[in-house]
Structure 1
Amino acid sequence: LGQRADGLSVEVWWSPYHPFSSGFTGQSSAELAKAYEEATGNPWTMPLGFKHALFEVVVDSLKRTEDISDPDSIARAIAATNYNSIVGPIDFSKGPVPNVAKTPLVGGQWHMDGDKPVLEIVENNDHPEIPLTGAMKPIG
């Protein structure tokens, strides 16, 4: 979108600013984003954290599975997940429905830094543990 993205607001489900770390690799959100950018030459995106967290939950669930050859045993381990991931706590017992976990959402706004779009965290009322990195500005 280039300059047209300047000032657009968006819900932010994960960013390098999120104060969570991978229970699998130990990387912080900032370290994961930086490693991705260095390895690919592409900017980080919000799905990156969730793709990483998916594998964290898989590894954690398999470690806790009593009988790896029994699909029901695997399903029970997944259902019992209570894990601190790179996107925040994943607790399938507290979700709105079984096997679903809510993760923190904050408000963001894009601005341009030269030709590069930058996402700032501009609203965190529900999750003050995620730091603000900018202030909301009028679009246009």
Structure 2
Amino acid sequence: MRMQETGSQGAVLTIGVVAPCGGRLARLGAPLLGLAYALFDVAAHALATADDPEDPQAVAAAIGRTRLETMAGPLDWTAGPVPNVATVRLLGGQWKRGRRHPYELAVVANSRYPDLPREGGLEVLR
């Protein structure tokens, strides 16, 4: 996936930044880092599309018109749930006893991000 504003690719971020961590973090790292990385895509887009990038109100208006595909998935400030707010697809994760490490991060809820499979349900840790 190529990000609209910065032109970077999710695979590049995963391979170059997350993969060296290895294991599950390599697979889950792109969505985790995506939230922070998406800020740069949104900022670049807002400044590029604002009527006056030095006017805070013009930049705020540009953000309110923003619809982008980012590392965090699609972000759309025009769709709500209220004006000028975008929502992200979130996963539910839980640290569980692991096979390679004492605890490993497992996906336990994925209703908003079905591309990543669930790895079990939420459990009480003892």
Same fold, judged at TM 0.5 (above): yes
For normalisation by structure 2, the TM-score amounts to 0.69
Matching residue of 2:64: 79
| Alignment CA distance shift 1:84-1:46 (3 Å) | closer
- Give 3-state SS (helix, strand or coil) of 2:85's partner: coil
Equivalent pair of 1:120/1:132 in contact (CA under 8 Å): no
- Tell me the secondary structure at the aligned position of residue 75 of structure 1: helix
Greater percentage in helix: 2
The higher-RCO structure (CA 8 Å, 6+ apart) is 1
Query: Gapped runs of 5+ residues in structure 2?
Result: none
**Partner secondary structure for residue 8 of structure 2:** coil
Q: Which residue of 2 aligns with 1:124?
A: 110
Unaligned runs of 5+ in 1: 1-19
Look up the match of 1:25: 7
Q: Distance in 2 between matches of 1:91 and 1:127?
A: 16
Cα distance 1:65–1:33, how it changes in 2: closer, same or farther (>3 A)? same
User: What's the % identity of the aligned pairs?
Assistant: 31
1:95 is matched with: 80
Instruction: Go from structure 1 to structure 2 and tell me whether the alpha carbon gap of 1:125 and 1:115 turns closer, same or farther (over 3 Å shift).
Output: closer
Structure 1-normalised TM-score?
Answer: 0.64
